[in-house]
Every structure is written in structure tokens, then in C-alpha cells.
């Protein structure tokens, strides 16, 4: 009987966390304006490995934001002889993110654009991301 109760509690907790996941779907869109841009993005639990993008292509990180708001994704970027790495998503600093409440279903979209002179995020999100600000230079 005690075991059954434990299973019930674990299942209930899991469902609760999964539900939170559905209401906090997050996409980080990283658009490349460069050919042969190599990205390596990871969180504490997820290593997405090296991927290559050409000009006009996008790399999307799709994940369920941590229920407690602790999700963090960082990426390393390589292009020609240049390199940079920074946090592309952290729930506490979503200046580059747009959160939509679609009748109680939350969806967060975050945007970065990678160019020859650095890394940009948009100030406005409607009707599409626009008015891009430079946040980082290449190293
Ligand atoms: C990822 O790409 C970078 C830059 O090309 C390279 O230095 C690194 O070794 C690669 N890592 C892996 C695991 O392939």
C-alpha cells in the first residue's frame, strides 16, 4: 500500500512538472548571416553538439523552460579565426525574448542574429523581430 502511494505521488509530481513544461515552451532562434558558422550550444543537461549554419539559415533551440526558472543555455560560436561564447537564454534576463500569453498557454521566443561584426538581438518583436541591437563583438 505504501509503495502504491509513493508511485501515485511520483506520477502526480511528474505530471505537474510536465504540465508546467507545456505552458512554458521556449524557442531560441539563432539566425546566421554568415557562411560556415559553427555553433555549439548546451545547457546543464543537454549538449546539442557542433552544428554548421550558412547565411540565411537558422539554428533553433527548442526546450521546456525549467519549472523553477533555472534553465540556462549557452553557445560557443566559431567563424573563420574568430570565436565567442555567451548565454543565449537565461530566464532572468529575457531582454531578447518575447513572451506571448495565448489564452493561458505561454510561449517564449528569443532571438539572436550573428553577423560579421557581432551578435545582435531585437528590441521589438512585432510583426517580426526588428530594430536589432549589437550585444557582443567577436573575439
Ligand atoms: C566544434 O567545432 C570547433 C570549431 O570548428 C572545434 O574547434 C571543436 O573541436 C569542435 N568540437 C567537436 C566536439 O567536434
Q: Express each pLDDT in 48-81 by its tens digit.
A: 999 999 999 999 999 888 767 788 999 999 999 9
User: What pLDDT is attached to residue 23?
Assistant: 46
- Strands 24-32 and 105-115, bridge-based pairing: parallel
Cα–Cα distance for residue pair 76/32, rounded to 1 Å: 14
Atom 9 of ligand 1: nearest residue by CA position: 50
Atom 11 of ligand 1: nearest residue by CA position: 50
CATH architecture of 24-136: Sandwich (2.60)
Q: In the structure, which protein residues have their CB atom closer than 6 angstroms to any atom of ligand 1?
A: 38, 40, 50, 78
Mean pLDDT of the chain, nearest integer: 87
Domain ranges of the chain: 24-136
Cross-strand bridge partners of residue 37? 53
User: What pLDDT is attached to residue 9?
Assistant: 63
- DSSP H or E segment with residue 32: strand 24-32
List b or e across 53-79, with b for residues whose CB sees 16 or more CB atoms inside 10 angstroms: beeeeebebebebbeeeebebebebbb
The residue among 107 and 124 whose pLDDT is bigger is 124
Ligand 1 centre to CA of 55 (Å) is 20
Confidence of residue 91 (pLDDT cuts 50, 70, 90): confident
Taking the model in full, what pTM does it have?
A: 0.83
Amino acid at each position: 500500500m505504501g509503495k502504491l502511494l509513493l508511485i501515485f505521488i511520483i506520477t502526480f509530481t511528474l505530471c505537474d512538472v510536465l504540465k508546467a513544461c507545456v505552458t512554458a515552451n521556449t524557442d531560441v532562434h539563432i539566425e546566421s548571416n554568415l557562411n560556415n558558422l559553427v555553433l555549439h550550444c548546451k545547457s546543464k543537461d543537454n549538449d546539442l553538439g557542433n552544428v554548421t549554419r550558412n547565411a540565411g539559415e537558422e539554428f533553433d533551440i527548442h526546450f521546456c523552460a525549467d519549472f523553477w526558472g533555472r534553465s540556462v543555455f549557452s553557445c560557443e560560436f566559431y567563424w573563420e579565426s574568430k570565436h565567442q561564447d555567451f548565454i543565449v537564454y537565461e530566464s532572468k534576463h529575457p531582454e531578447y525574448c518575447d513572451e506571448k500569453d495565448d489564452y493561458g498557454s505561454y510561449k517564449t521566443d528569443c532571438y539572436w542574429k550573428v553577423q560579421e561584426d557581432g551578435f545582435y538581438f531585437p528590441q521589438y518583436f512585432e510583426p517580426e523581430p526588428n530594430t536589432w541591437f549589437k550585444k557582443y563583438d567577436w573575439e
